[in-house]
Amino acid sequence: MLFTWAEFWNLQNAELWVGVGLILFFAILVAAGVPKLIAGHLDATATKIQGELDEATRLRTEAEALLKQIRAEKAEAEAQAAQMLAAAEADARIMETEAKAKLEESLTRRQALAEQRIAQAEAQATAEVKAAAADLAARAAEQILAARLAGQTKDPLVDAAIAQIGSRLN
């Protein structure tokens, strides 16, 4: 079925009345201010979205500044840790050197003390050997002289010399 303009303008045509109703509907909407309402609503939504975008931008800027600050603090903390580690290593080397020096000093002191004790023991042993030898020599001399004199009469000079031998050797 072909459509012509003459048929459209016929008052019996339903399509004409649908078109007129549609035009009246749009006219009523315009008269009621619906486009302004829609535009206002769209403007409010756009303003809200723009505010949220501005807030997001502000938050992003703050987050970037905070991230920069945290990175700087991290770098500072790492530098401090490196300094503390270097100081601890230096202290450990100093303590090691001091400990070695104290150990060597202690060993030297103990060695000197041991040598001194050995010398004392040697001196004491030498003195004991000399005393024992002198004692033995005195007894032997006494026995020898007693045996020689047993055949002779008593001589007071020999008796005095024998008595003095024991005291002189000690």
What's the rounded mean pLDDT across residues 87-108?
94
Q: Which amino acid is at 155?
A: D
Say if residue 33's pLDDT is above 60: yes
Q: What is the DSSP letter of 152?
A: S
Residue 154 has a pLDDT of: 64
The C-alpha atoms of residue 116 and residue 36 are separated, in whole angstroms, by 116
The C-alpha atoms of residue 122 and residue 116 are separated, in whole angstroms, by 10
Query: In angstroms, how far is CA 45 from the centroid of its own chain?
Result: 57
Residue 34 has a pLDDT of: 87
